[in-house]
Amino acid sequence: MRHALWVLPIVVSFGVAGTSTQATPPAPPARTPIVVELFTSEGCSDCPPADGVLEKLIAQPLGGVEVIGLGEHVDYWDQLGWRDRFSSSTLTQRQQVYGAHFSLESVYTPQMVVDGRVQFVGSDPRSAEKAVARAGEAPHASVVIDVQPRDPKSVVVVASVDRLPALGHGDRADVIVAVTEDHLLSNVTRGENRGRTLSHAAVVRSMTTIGQAGAGPSQLRADVAIATDWKRDALHIVAFVQESRGRAILGSATARLGNVRP
């Protein structure tokens, strides 16, 4: 740690020779989306194992849970020998808000935060699995994303929110939209990871608060920029609802961007 069911088909026979009716199997129950944030840096030698934990969580769903990953690269390592090209001061500020919320002496990498409710060292897979399972038991809002083409450099995102759980007294429900990119590689030539090729999943390319959800059904619309050097087929749009003060993530959804073309 660094400071700085498938259901089998049922055949119903009516006893008439040569005739049978195969019942349509019920659809598998919907999985609850859970947001897993990883605060990481290419300048931190403890971070690559945590990047691997996040990637496995995304690829191997746990029970009735769907993990939505957010790889958030902080910038306070950038002056220590290697500038992380994915780093952002905005993401550092987001981590600092969590640090204050969890009463930490200082922020650190790799740090994992599950649904805004619990934090721990990001390279600990057992803690991650337990936290994801617990988060899946909490009530969550319904969040639906509609992504519409606009032009080669942007899309329109419509986030619909319903059945929002009760907020803490005086709190508000921020609706946040992020763009993430998978299958990213970096050849690190300086710093603690010098000589290593690092792979990343769900790297946050942008993150913006687009408004607040109300007590009833809410629909928010935003134009989201897509840079030309981002690989469109590897991009996801993520929308989630988060308590501004309490920090719990109350609902989330994700959509692939590859099929959305202007």
Task: Measure the N-to-C terminal CA separation of the chain; round to a whole number of Å.
Answer: 44
Residue 233 per-residue DSSP state:
G
Instruction: Note the pLDDT of residue 29.
Output: 62
Instruction: Note the pLDDT of residue 21.
Output: 44
Confidence band, pLDDT 50/70/90 cuts, at residue 30 = confident
Rounded distance between C-alpha atoms, residue 211 and residue 100, angstroms: 23
Q: Inform me whether the pLDDT recorded for 3 exceeds 90.
A: no
71, 180 contact by CB (below 8 A): yes
- Mean pLDDT of the chain, nearest integer: 90
Confidence band, pLDDT 50/70/90 cuts, at residue 1 = low
Tens of pLDDT along 160-179? 999 999 999 999 999 999 99
Instruction: Catalogue all structural domains in the chain, each as residue range(s) with its CATH number.
Output: 30-256 (2.60.40.10)
Lowest model confidence (mean pLDDT) among 20-29, 63-72, 106-115, 215-224? 20-29
- Report H helices in the chain: 47-59, 89-101, 125-136
Confidence band, pLDDT 50/70/90 cuts, at residue 12 = very low
Of 76, 113, 88, 43, the closest CA to residue 179 belongs to: 88
Decide which of 117 and 27 is more confident.
117
Rounded distance between C-alpha atoms, residue 94 and residue 116, angstroms: 11
Phi and psi (nearest 5°) for 92?
-60, -45
CA dihedral 214, 218, 223, 227 (to 10 degrees): 80
> What strands, in cross-sheet order, belong to the sheet with 235-243?
118-121, 111-114, 32-40, 65-73, 203-213, 173-181, 235-243, 249-256
Instruction: Note the pLDDT of residue 259.
Output: 73
